[in-house]
Amino acid sequence: MSNEHEPRKPREQYRLRTRLIHGSFATGRWDYDHHVVPPQSSSTTFRLKSVHRGVQGFVEFGSPQAQRAPIYIYDRLDEPSRSMLEENLAAAEGGEMGVTFSTGMAAISAAICALVSSGHQIVAHRVLYGSTHSLLTNWLPRFGVRTEFCDLTNPECIAGAATRDCRVVYFETPVNPTMELIDMAAVRKVVDQLNASRPEPEQIRIVVDNTFATPYCQRPLEFGVDLVVHSLTKDIGGFGTDMGGAVIGSNRFYNLLMLYRKDFGGVLSPKNAWPILVYGLPTLATRMVNQQKGAMMVANFLLKQPKVARVVYPGLPNFPQAELARRQMVGYDGKFAPGSLLYFELKSCNGSGAMAGERFVDFVAEHAYTITLAVSLGQIKTLIENPFSMTHATVPEEDKIKSGLQPGGIRLSLGLEDWQDIIADLEAALAVV
């Protein structure tokens, strides 16, 4: 029992006011290993048996040793609910380690900023999630980090865009919301050629935002990507209750990311980590299989509608990059996994396609039961939005148009409703545009 915290005299001999505070919390009763569902940990600070243990905890923080048997000191440094989620996220992506953050943007900014210093360059795809685009164009230049945007659907463009100072190649695939794919193995090849003449500290790292596909549909590390970033707020959380983010990759980045998170402070609250650990990640595969089935049904329905100008879904046979989709998007069961998101445009009738798109979405917002007008994606409820003017408002207009994102374009994130009900709601909206 020498490991246990032994009070100087029996608890009963302390005044009640003191006992209410100290109770018998310091107890041998904690036995995490035997809980079927992990308990939610909620402690900002941790009892240390000795000063020596505290010192050791600080010395080992962020090291491989701490990854295996951490000495918990303070929530912002490390904490068990979050660590359990990190271990499972790493497994889901086939990575060695994961570090979680308070939001997807906190994870994205950490992954990028941990790899660059003033004077460095980033090469990124021209269409990105709106806040990521804003981070690269509004904030990083203030710290001397520039971004060169190019069309990574042609990975050869990296060789022309990257300067000697380039340290990061950054993109999403499928691109949000145009559903264009970027060939990760081809990007790896181009970056390997550039890295061949660079010493280790100057190597270019590839960072991919895998939020859209989810690790169920695609595991970028298998294609040679260095770091995967996620918004856990979307499909991994799955139920739309909590925000979160994660960076996943090899152990060589663990220390850097943990130090970054400790000092910039964007930690995932254990209260938010817990539902993702207990409800979100364990049901990811089941949800994706069914959401994907709905997406396929809806994509096929939209394809046949005379008022629909274009449907982009990696699962459709007419998808422009169908071969790449089948190579890159593969589920845990080895089957083609084109995901749960699709993008479509309406034909212009009595005006522009943009007006038709807005009328359509407004009708859905007012009259549909199964489809909700809301940003975000990857929930059990089907969500619809106009990315051009909403989520992608900060991306320059010409880059959006060049990537096939039109003002009236509509993004649909399939939920788990009966697909026939979703189609009926879409049919009703099509009738009025």
Shortest spacing between CB 59 and ligand PLP, in angstroms:
33
> Rounded to an integer, what distance in angstroms lies between the CA atom of residue 194 and that of residue 76?
37
Between 211 and 379, whose beta carbon lies closer to ligand PLP? 211
Shortest spacing between CB 276 and ligand PLP, in angstroms:
11
Shortest spacing between CB 147 and ligand PLP, in angstroms:
16
Between 231 and 379, whose beta carbon lies closer to ligand PLP? 231
Between 213 and 308, whose beta carbon lies closer to ligand PLP? 213
Which residues, including other chains, have CB under 8 Å from residue 257's CB and lie 6 or more apart?
A: 99, 110, 111, 114, 247
Between 166 and 232, whose beta carbon lies closer to ligand PLP? 232
Shortest spacing between CB 90 and ligand PLP, in angstroms:
19
Shortest spacing between CB 206 and ligand PLP, in angstroms:
16
Between 246 and 430, whose beta carbon lies closer to ligand PLP? 246
Between 86 and 172, whose beta carbon lies closer to ligand PLP? 172
Q: Report the residue number whose CB is nearest to ligand PLP.
A: 104
Q: How far is CA 247 from CA 227, 231, 403, in A?
A: 7, 9, 27
Question: Which residues of the shown chain bind ligand PLP in the complex (CB under 6 A)?
Answer: 103-105, 129, 131-132, 172, 176, 209, 211-212, 231, 233-234, 243, 245, 377
Q: What angle do CA 232, 233, 239 make, to 5 degrees?
A: 110
Between 120 and 230, whose beta carbon lies closer to ligand PLP? 230
Shortest spacing between CB 366 and ligand PLP, in angstroms:
25
Between 212 and 301, whose beta carbon lies closer to ligand PLP? 212
Shortest spacing between CB 312 and ligand PLP, in angstroms:
16
The 3-state secondary structure of the chain reads CCCCCCCCCCHHHCCHHHHHHHCCCCCCCCCHHHCCCCCCCCCCECCCCCHHHHHHHHHHCCCHHHHHCCCCCECCCCCHHHHHHHHHHHHHHCCCEEEEECCHHHHHHHHHHCCCCCCCEEEEECCCCHHHHHHHHHHHHHHCCEEEEECCCCCCHHHHHCCCCEEEEEEECCCCCCCCCCCHHHHHHHHHHHHCCCCHHHCCEEEEECCCCHHHHCCHHHHCCCEEEEECCCCCCCCCCCCCEEEEECHHHHHHHHHHHHHHCCCCCHHHHHHHHHHHHHHHHHHHHHHHHHHHHHHHHHHCCCCEEEEECCCCCCCCCHHHHHHHCECCCCCECCCCEEEEEECCCCCCHHHHHHHHHHHHHHHCCCEEECCCCCCCCEEEECCCCCCCCCCCHHHHHHCCCCCCCEEEECCCCCHHHHHHHHHHHHHHC
Shortest spacing between CB 184 and ligand PLP, in angstroms:
15
Closest listed residue to residue 247, CA positions, set 261, 234, 235, 237: 261
Shortest spacing between CB 388 and ligand PLP, in angstroms:
15
Between 103 and 321, whose beta carbon lies closer to ligand PLP? 103
Between 312 and 346, whose beta carbon lies closer to ligand PLP? 312
Shortest spacing between CB 22 and ligand PLP, in angstroms:
38
Between 210 and 370, whose beta carbon lies closer to ligand PLP? 210
Helices 419-432 & 353-367 angle (0-180, nearest 10):
130
Shortest spacing between CB 18 and ligand PLP, in angstroms:
42
